[in-house]
């Protein structure tokens, strides 16, 4: 709970302070317990403090606001936790920007046999470069790996990347791609 009673008579501060941080924004609110209608003594500049029912009413308002901000904070934390979780990848999808797994070669006529592979499409030096790397049939792990290495090395050469070994480690799942191809009914690869 972030609702606190502040009592600093020298500064004239008496009330509840509610502070919550939600998504980088600070909500800082003050609920005063100073009764501005009554002064202490004759001709004094100091005001009286709230007591009894008035104190309970202000305390209830502060606690309600703290509960509302606490609910907002819980919702935002749940949202942040959901965003931090790794997102599930579609079968055969890559996480390398510019390379995607295609079930058929783009622009190929529908009546021709399927040609699954990796399409590398990037913009380098203000010009678009694209190349299709066809997977060998029947699909096997060795051919899959060689095709992936070829696609990543071509991407690195076009983009002039010096350290691209980490891209090789982001190889998509072969079995997910095979399941995707079989599900589409395009081919029945032997693995």
At residue 123, what are phi and psi to the nearest 5 degrees?
A: -115, 120
pLDDT at 154: 86
pLDDT tops 60 at residue 7: yes
Query: pLDDT value at position 80?
Result: 86
184 pLDDT more than 80: no
| 137-151 average pLDDT score | 82
pLDDT of 146 over the 60 cut: yes
81: alpha, beta or left? (left if phi > 0; alpha if psi -120 to 50): alpha
As a whole number, mean pLDDT of residues 125-143 equals 81
Residue 36 has pLDDT above 50, yes or no: yes
Gap between the Cα atoms of 154 and 134, Å rounded: 13
CA distances from 184 to 48, 57, 133, 141, 177 (A): 79, 66, 20, 20, 11
Domain boundaries, the chain: 3-84, 99-184
Separation CA 120–CA 94 (nearest Å): 11
Residue 191 has pLDDT above 50, yes or no: no
pLDDT for 190: 46
Judged against a pLDDT cut of 70, whether residue 71 lies above it is answered with yes
- Residue 168 CA, distance from chain mean position: 24
């Amino acid at each position: 709970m972030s609702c606190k009673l502040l009592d600093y008579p020298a500064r004239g501060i008496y009330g509840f302070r509610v502070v919550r941080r939600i998504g980088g924004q600070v909500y800082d609110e003050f609920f005063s317990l100073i009764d501005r209608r009554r002064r202490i003594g004759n001709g004094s500049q100091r005001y009286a403090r709230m007591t009894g029912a008035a104190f309970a009413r202000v305390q209830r308002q502060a606690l309600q606001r703290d509960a509302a901000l606490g609910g907002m904070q819980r919702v935002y934390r749940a949202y942040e936790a959901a965003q931090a979780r790794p997102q599930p990848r579609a079968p055969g999808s890559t996480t390398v920007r510019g390379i995607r797994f295609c079930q058929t070669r783009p622009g190929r006529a529908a009546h021709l046999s399927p040609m699954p592979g990796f399409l590398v499409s990037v913009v380098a030096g203000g010009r678009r470069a694209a190349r299709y790397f066809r997977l060998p049939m029947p699909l096997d792990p060795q051919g899959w790996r060689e095709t992936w290495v070829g696609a990543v090395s071509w991407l690195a050469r076009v983009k002039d990347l010096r350290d691209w070994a980490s891209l090789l480690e982001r190889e998509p799942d072969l079995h997910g791609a095979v399941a995707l191809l079989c599900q589409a009914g395009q081919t029945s690869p032997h693995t």
